[in-house]
Amino acid sequence: MLLTKWDQTTAVFKSKKASFFEFDYIGTESELPTLSTVTDIIKDTVQFNFHLELSEGEVQELPNSMWTRDLRNFVNRNKHDTRRILGAYQSLYSLIQQDEYLFMQFFQNSVHIPKIYGSCGHFYAVEYLPAGKLLSLNLFGNSATFSSWADRVQLALELLNLVHSFQNDFPHPLHMCDIKGENFGQGANGVIKLIDTDTVFFEPKLKEMLVNDSCKVHDDCNFFDCAGFCNLRARRCTDRRVNSNLQVRKPVKQTDKAQLSLDVRCQVTKVQVHGSCFHLQAICSKIFSSHLANGYSGLLDRPPPHYKDREQLLDLLKYCSNNLINRSRSSRTAELNEDQVHAKLDELLKSSKL
């Protein structure tokens, strides 16, 4: 991975593997695949990785949309030069074998995905997005508490926008299983983008990953911040994730089954919540609030004393960060659901800017 200039723009030049020859081959000069065959390979790769069914029109666009150049035009202009055509095919094939490139290039229309500027062989140039001082971790504290409250609130709102987009703007809900400040970057326009996709999965893929492993307790089914659910009778992990991108659960002792089935009552900004309380929320606990394990002082620590809803915001963040999970299969619904927590945070943060 190199920091470089691409058309006068700072970019990260990267590849999963150092050598072009470490990737699978798509063909040879004597057995050159047709553009139709290459298109089918791209289609199968996209559909398998993202659990999508593409329309015929979408399939026909893949040779151009999944490479950083117009592949159809390139093939037509070089139809008598099999070596150049093979080089183009192999370049594209090496790129779509890299999960990060495949994901970012296919979803380039999302404002929360870094821009890919171009490629050369198996390397590609992606938008440089440093986390910045407000999202960078620091032992003995973070500079967040020394930055203006307005800047911190704006960053928090951008993170909430990203979480909402990942839940609603993609073909399937997009699950982030390792939430930490350094996995996000901020563009020049202030928009937060995901810069590390190694532990990001669409819901069908995550379900496949969670299911069937043997387990004795629920924690055995976890994948980083994605909390799983153990069928304690069968001692098998189910395909169920019991938290969300806003949520990371707090470990719960499982020795007392009666305790797990009890209603949990939580006081949140003067609203009584019962039934299955929210899980410990990742954005709240690992970014918005102090995280003593790594010396991180939270983005929303120490709101200004003059902010009239200061205590209400702190109560909501505390609830967000410390509530117990109830993994029972009860159909009871909390009076304050996740969307309402998201909306309340959004409301309090926006009002604090006034």
Q: Mind listing the pLDDT tens digit of every residue in the chain (354 residues)?
A: 899 999 889 999 999 999 999 999 999 999 999 999 999 999 999 999 999 999 999 999 999 999 999 999 999 999 999 999 999 999 999 999 999 999 999 999 999 999 999 999 999 999 999 877 677 655 345 555 567 899 999 999 999 999 899 989 999 999 998 888 888 999 988 899 999 998 999 999 999 999 978 999 999 999 988 889 999 999 999 999 887 776 544 444 443 333 233 222 233 333 322 222 323 357 787 888 876 555 567 888 889 988 999 999 988 887 777 653 434 443 333 445 677 778 899 999 999 876
Radius of gyration of the chain measured on its C-alpha atoms: 23
Which two tokens mark 256?
């007392």
Are the beta carbons of 114 and 126 closer than 8 angstroms?
yes
8 Å CB contact between 155 and 283: no
Phi (first) and psi of residue 239, to 5 degrees: -90, 15
* Interacting residues of 91 by C-beta distance below 8 A, sequence separation 6+: 67, 119, 120, 121, 122
Helices within the chain (DSSP H only): 35-50, 56-65, 71-77, 82-96, 99-106, 149-168, 203-210, 257-261, 282-283, 310-322, 338-352
CA 277 to CA 126: how far, in whole Å? 40
Distance from C-alpha of 237 to C-alpha of 258, rounded to nearest angstrom:
21
* Rounded CA separation 16/105 (Å): 15
Closest CA to 296 of 185, 141, 190, 188: 141
Q: Any idea which residue has 């949520």 for tokens?
A: 247
314 residue type, one letter: L
Indicate left, alpha or beta for 301 from its phi (over 0: left) and psi (-120 to 50: alpha).
Answer: beta
Q: CB-based contacts of 343: which residues, under 8 Å, 6+ apart?
A: none
| Other Cβ atoms within 10 Å of 338 Cβ, number | 18
pLDDT at 262: 25
Burial 93-115 (b: 16+ CB within 10 A, else e): bbbbbbebbbbbbbbeebebbbb
Q: Which residues contact 160 (CB under 8 A, 6 or more apart)?
A: 283, 342, 345, 346, 349
pLDDT at 339: 76
Q: What is the pTM of this model?
A: 0.82
Gap between the Cα atoms of 306 and 192, Å rounded: 28
Q: How far is CA 248 from CA 30, 41, 53, 115, 352, in A?
A: 54, 37, 31, 29, 26
